Amino acid sequence: MESINAGWLSILPPIIAVVLALLTKEVFSSLLIGILTGTVIYTVGIDGNLLTTPLESAISVMGNKFDLNIVLFCSLLGALVYVIYLSGATKAYGEYATKKIKGRKSALLSTSALGAFIFIDDYFNCLTVGTVMRPITDKYKIARAKLAYIIDSTAAPICIIAPVSSWAAAVGSNLKETKAFDSDIGAFVATIPWNFYALLCLTLVVLVCCFNLNFGAMAKAETQSLNGTAVLLDRKTNVDDKKVGRGTLFDMLVPILALIVFAVIFMMYLGGFWGEDATYHSFGAAIGNTNSSLALVLSSFMALVVAFIMLVPRKILNLKDFMEGCLHGVQAMIPANMILTFAWTISGVTRDLLQAPQFIASIVSNDLAFVGAILPAVIFLIAAFLSFSTGTAWGTFGILIPIVVLVAQAIDPNSTELVIISLSATLAGSVCGDHCSPISDTTVLSSAGSSCDHIEHVYTQLPYVVVIASCTLIGYVVAGFTKNWALSFGSSLALLMLCAVFIYKRQQHYKNLA
C-alpha cells in the first residue's frame, strides 16, 4: 500500500487511542478507534472510498504487521503455565519459596533480580518472570500492578544496556548503516554508561523494593492488595482445586529451566553459532545474528515437551487433562494476543501509511542543528514522544539513529563525545516512551505476565516513569554542556535520590496520621 505524508495528522491516531484508553480504561475499543481514525485519514489522503477503504486498509496493515512467532510464543507459554499449575507444581513451588523468601521485601528483590538476570530478550523476560514470581508475590499480598511494574522496569531497561541481547543486535544493525563507527558493538557499549534512563529505572526498582515506595495510583493498588479487596485476573479459573495434581517443586523448575536453556541454544543455533560462517562462531555474534522470536517459539514448544515427559508418564496428569490444560492456557492468552495485534496494527497505520516517523524526522532535521548544548535533552524528549505515540522503541531508534548521528557530527565534527551522548539519549528516550505507552508490546506483555489489568498497569507505572524521565532529562542537559559523565549521571542520580527521600518521608507522614 502507498503511504501518504499526513504531517501532524500522522500522530493523531495513537494520541486518540492513548487518551481514550486512559479515560475509559478499555483498551480494545480505544485501539480500534485509533486504528480506524488513522485509516480514515489515509483514505481521505488518497481520495478513497470512505465506506470500504478504511476497513480494508486496517485489515491489510494488520496482516502485514501480525507477528505469528510472538503470538505462538505467548500462546505456548500460556499453555506451559497452565499445565504446570494444573499439575500442582505451582502450589508446591509457592509453599517452598514461602519458606525461603521471608517477607515482602525479599519477594520484591527476588523478582527484580530474576528480571535483571533474564537480559537476552524483553519478551522472554516479561512473561517468564511473571510466571515464576506471581505465586510468591500473591502470597505476600503484593499488588499485581507492582509486580507488573517491576517486570516492565527490568525488561527493556536491562536489555538496552546488555551487550548480548536482541536489543543490542537491533541497535548494532542501525549503527552499522550509519558507517560512523569502526566497531558497532564498541559504539553500543560506549552508550551504556550514558543511558541514564535505563540506569535510573533499575535504580528506582531497587529503591521501591527496599523501601516500599508507593505513590500515585500504585499506593491505592497496594492498599487494596493488602486489604484483600483487589480484583485478581487469574488465568487459572475454571479449575477445581480438587483436580489439581500432586506435582512437586521440580515439576515447575525443570520446565522453566528448560525454557531458558533451549532459548539460549536455539538463539545460538539460528544465529549461526554452529554454522559454516566463522563470523558467527562467538556467542555474542550469534545472538546478534539470530531470529529471537523464532527461537522463543521453539524453546517454549520444547519446554512444553519436557513438561509432558515429566507429568504424563508419572500419571500426575493424564493425556486428556494435559491437552485440555494446553488448550485452556492458549485461550487465557487470547486477550493479550488481541491487544498485541491491535497495537501492531495502529503502529503500522501510523508508521507505514501516514509516515509519522518522517514527520518527526523532519522536525529533528530542521530544528536540532541550532540547539547546540541542549541537543541530548531535546533528542531524549523527541525519542520519548515518538516511542510513546507509536508504541515501539525499536522503530523509534531505527528512524532517529541515522539522523541523530548526522546532526551530532555536524555540530561537533572533531569529537565523538556528542555523538555517543546523543545516541544514548536516543536509546534512553526510545525505552522511556515504550515503557509507559499503553500500546507498547512490552507494556502489554508485562501486564499479561503478571495477570494484571492492562490499563491499571499503565496508570500505576506512569508516575514512576515521569519521575525517572525528569531526572534523566536534567542529566542530559548537564551532559550537553559539560560532556562529563560523572557530573551528568551524578546530577540525575542525586535528583532521583532526593525524589525517593521526599516520597518516603511523605509516605511515612501519612502512615503516622493514619
CA distances from 219 to 26, 203, 205, 370 (A): 22, 19, 15, 43
pTM, to two decimals: 0.72
Q: Say if 46 falls within a structural domain.
A: no
Residue 413: which residues within 8 A CB-CB, separation 6 or more? Answer: none
CA 253/CA 192 separation, integer angstroms: 33
Length of the chain: 514
Per DSSP, the three-state class of 5 is coil
Number of folded domains in the chain? 1
Q: Which domain holds residue 470?
A: 67-229+240-339+354-514
Q: Say if 5 falls within a structural domain.
A: no
CA distances from 419 to 30, 380, 416 (A): 38, 13, 5
Residue 465: which residues within 8 A CB-CB, separation 6 or more? Answer: 432, 435, 436
Q: Say if 86 falls within a structural domain.
A: yes
CA 12/CA 91 separation, integer angstroms: 47
Q: Say if 314 falls within a structural domain.
A: yes
Determine contact, residues 1/37, Cβ cutoff 8 Å.
no
Q: Say if 464 falls within a structural domain.
A: yes
Q: Say if 37 falls within a structural domain.
A: no
Q: Say if 2 falls within a structural domain.
A: no
Q: Say if 329 falls within a structural domain.
A: yes
CA distances from 248 to 79, 127, 313, 314, 322 (A): 18, 22, 15, 12, 16
pLDDT in tens, the chain (514 residues): 788 888 888 878 877 876 776 677 666 788 889 899 999 999 998 888 888 899 999 999 888 878 788 788 878 888 887 888 888 887 787 677 777 888 889 999 999 988 888 776 677 678 778 877 888 898 889 999 999 999 999 988 998 998 766 677 667 766 765 677 776 667 888 899 999 999 999 999 999 999 988 988 999 999 899 887 665 665 544 455 556 678 888 888 898 888 888 888 998 898 888 988 888 888 877 876 777 778 888 988 999 999 999 999 988 988 998 999 899 888 877 877 787 688 778 878 887 888 876 776 676 555 554 566 788 999 999 889 888 877 778 777 776 777 787 778 777 777 788 889 999 999 999 999 999 888 788 898 899 888 888 889 999 999 999 999 999 999 999 999 999 999 999 999 999 999 999 998 888 766 665 5
Phi, psi of 49, rounded to the nearest 5 degrees: -80, 115
Q: Which one-letter amino acid corresponds to residue 102?
A: K
Q: Which DSSP string corresponds to 154-216?
A: TTHHHHTT-SSSHHHHHHHHHHHHHT--S-HHHHHHHHGGG-HHHHHHHHHHHHHHHH----T
Per DSSP, the three-state class of 111 is helix
